[in-house]
Structure 1
Amino acid sequence: MAFANFRLFLLLSGAISVAVVLTACDKEEPTEKKSGQALVSVNGKEITMLQLNDEIRRANIRADQYEAASKQLLESLISRQLIVDEAVRNKLDRTPEVMQARERVIAQVITQAYLQGIMSKVVKPTKAEIDEYYQKHPELFTHRKQFDLTIVRIATKDLSEELKKVLDAAKTLDEVVLWLEKNKVQYIRNVASRSSTDLPPQMTTLLQEKSKDTIFIINEQETSSLIYVNAVKESPVALASAAPQIERFLMNQKFKEATDAEITRLRAAAKIEYLNVKDQKPNDEKPVSSSSDELMPDSLEGMSNSAPISEGAIERGITGFK
């Protein structure tokens, strides 16, 4: 129950800021009775069944927890309304920070609603499209590889020039570990498996072509990982297993294309003037949008025996087909 109370506290505290942000809008419009059956009135403001059900949905409450959770969430909604009322009484809803945050939240909610409309019109990928994607990407499916890795993590500050020379000369991580122990450098050693679908294509190619006697270095700010490939195995995935994830991938791709097309249409129809902005791109520039390129590592350099890899690259890449 203590955990449940803490969880409800997080829900309450997270919702309060949004409620304060949106309350200013209520003051600008005549007071209207909220839709839904009223459960409680707090200083004349109703809390409805619709609000409670929304909180229950967001909290992912199990059926056997519904009664107890609904009572706690209702009390949380009452507490939230009391805090919002007091915040408004102290004019916190009119501070520049809250006013700006309110505009951002409203824009996000409206944008999400509009994008949901676009998504509802996107046609699901056909079986033929899924089969075609499967056949065109053997590296992800029929020729999928599994990499068995040994990973040694050390503090980046301990990645000295002397250690880098040891890494260049070493044939295995065992040699490096002996040097770390001799020089009293703390480390954590473990093993992991990654498939070619867990990693960016450049990383997969790198691990396959340069894995022999190569120790890869991944710098992750305060921590650095030394990675050695123990084995590369065949790990094919059948179409039946891959189909659901291919379908999701293609659906996301179609949604992105539809969204980009809509943004392009809106920009073409709009009059956009850049004011007090230097070196801004022209209005006909392609819209900036999320891309799969964000999942790819930066350029890979220095293919010496110890090969550095971009920050976090081993943990990035397209979603794996397990």
Structure 2
Amino acid sequence: MAKRLINPRVSLLAAVAAAVLLAACGGDKGEKASQTAAKVNKEEITVHQINFVLQRQPGLKPEQAEAASRQVLERLIDQELAVQKAQEQKLDRDPRVVQQIEAAKREIIARAYIERVGESVAKPTSDEIAKYYAEKPALFRDRRIYTLQELQIEAKPEQFDAVRAKLASAKSMPEFLEFLKANDMRFTGNQAVRAAEQLPLASLDNIARMTDGQSAVTQNANGLTVVTLMGSRPQPADEARARPAIEAFLVNQRKAEVVQKDIKALRDSSKIEYVGKFAEAAPAAASAPAAGTAPVAPAVAETPASAASGLDPASISKGMGLK
């Protein structure tokens, strides 16, 4: 006889619901299990409300279900008390509150539509996953852990060449920093350790080609940004380990493409008219990213040094979404 496979998430929610229901009925065998978990003055807090909160807590284990449900219930009681007091003071009619409620409502409804559109996306095949793995050696087979240092330097355009020249000739970073201090250039710096999957996908191959101690320079609004590869160490990921991350990434990528195409079709089939001062900026607004898609990082003007390395320091802190 074939065995039925049980979804762990479903069984966890079932355990949570059972625990809360038992608490709600107080163990009275003569009473029918109630969906009411607590009463706060004249209002009820239900098991469905508790389950909704618990569903948004990933990694919850079945044995933690009862304790977690009780903690959620206490938070919902506090929330209900605050809501009742706010209504008593008519805060729910405050124009600012009403505006926030409407904005949240619109966002939730729009997100629901975006998620519905994305449901049509098919999962990648094993061959597609294997192909992606083979095409991204810096991300998997030749994966490394990078130690990166970033400097934000306040400088005038006429100082750029001198900064680049000193960076190229300096024997060490402390020597370069002393040059900045001697020329009264203000700067701030930070250093971070990032795995390959935490770096921007568009920049990863170029970062992987950098050697320890190499720097890349780009212009920013206040001067220059210098990113230096202080060091790195290999930590490869085999295909079996990488498959779940690749599948999730490809699915999300396909969803973004489908959503963007759908929103574009909606724009093309709708009458959109910009009014007043917004009419002047209409072309820029029309080219904005579709709702629900990942925002695109602003372009950064590259110096010859950064063009050679292909590194975009401004996006180093933005992960590519792979875990």
Shorter-chain TM range is: 0.5 to 0.7
Corresponding residue pairs, total: 282
Give the equivalent residue in structure 2 for 1:254.
254
CA positional deviation for 1:170: 0.7
Give the Cα separation in 2 of the matches to 1:109 and 1:138.
Answer: 39
1:157 and 1:105, CA in 2 relative to 1: closer, same or farther beyond 3 A? Answer: same
CA positional deviation for 1:190: 6.6
Give the equivalent residue in structure 2 for 1:242.
242
Give the equivalent residue in structure 2 for 1:266.
266
1:64 and 1:182, CA in 2 relative to 1: closer, same or farther beyond 3 A? Answer: farther
Give the equivalent residue in structure 1 for 2:149.
151
CA positional deviation for 1:90: 1.8
1:287-322: CA deviation from partner (whole Å, max 9, x where unpaired): 635666725862322529xx997554333353457x
Question: What one-letter code is carried by the residue in structure 2 that aligns with 1:45?
Answer: E
1:83 and 1:179, CA in 2 relative to 1: closer, same or farther beyond 3 A? Answer: same
1:170 and 1:292, CA in 2 relative to 1: closer, same or farther beyond 3 A? Answer: farther
Give the equivalent residue in structure 1 for 2:47.
49
User: Secondary structure, in 3 states, of the residue corresponding to 2:39?
Assistant: strand
Give the aligned CA root-mean-square deviation in angstroms. 4.9
User: Secondary structure, in 3 states, of the residue corresponding to 1:278?
Assistant: helix
Question: What one-letter code is carried by the residue in structure 1 that aligns with 2:206?
Answer: T
Structure 1: runs of 5+ lacking an equivalent: 1-35
Give the Cα separation in 1 of the matches to 2:172 and 2:284.
Answer: 53
Partners of 2:219 and 2:302 within 8 A in 1: no
Give the Cα separation in 1 of the matches to 2:272 and 2:187.
Answer: 56
Partners of 1:199 and 1:316 within 8 A in 2: yes
User: Secondary structure, in 3 states, of the residue corresponding to 1:77?
Assistant: helix
Give the Cα separation in 2 of the matches to 1:265 and 1:233.
Answer: 46
The aligned runs of 1:35-114 (5 Å cut-off) are: 37-59=35-57, 62-114=61-113
Give the Cα separation in 1 of the matches to 2:301 and 2:181.
Answer: 32
Give the equivalent residue in structure 2 for 1:4.
none
1:74-94: CA deviation from partner (whole Å, max 9, x where unpaired): 233223222212212222111
User: Secondary structure, in 3 states, of the residue corresponding to 2:44?
Assistant: strand
Report sequence identity in percent. 26
Structure 2: runs of 5+ lacking an equivalent: 1-33
Structure 1 residue corresponding to 2:315, chosen from 313, 316, 319 = 313
Give the Cα separation in 2 of the matches to 1:123 and 1:49.
Answer: 34
CA positional deviation for 1:278: 1.5
Give the Cα separation in 1 of the matches to 2:42 and 2:290.
Answer: 46
Q: TM-score scaled by structure 2?
A: 0.63
1:96-135: CA deviation from partner (whole Å, max 9, x where unpaired): 2111111111112222322332233221111232233334
Give the Cα separation in 2 of the matches to 1:176 and 1:229.
Answer: 15
User: Secondary structure, in 3 states, of the residue corresponding to 1:299?
Assistant: coil
Give the Cα separation in 2 of the matches to 1:270 and 1:86.
Answer: 43
1:152-191: CA deviation from partner (whole Å, max 9, x where unpaired): 77x85799x79947534313336447879999x9998978
Q: TM-score scaled by structure 1?
A: 0.63
Question: What one-letter code is carried by the residue in structure 2 that aligns with 1:169?
Answer: S
CA positional deviation for 1:44: 2.3
User: Secondary structure, in 3 states, of the residue corresponding to 2:55?
Assistant: helix
Give the Cα separation in 2 of the matches to 1:49 and 1:196.
Answer: 39
User: Secondary structure, in 3 states, of the residue corresponding to 1:123?
Assistant: coil
Question: What one-letter code is carried by the residue in structure 1 that aligns with 2:75?
Answer: S
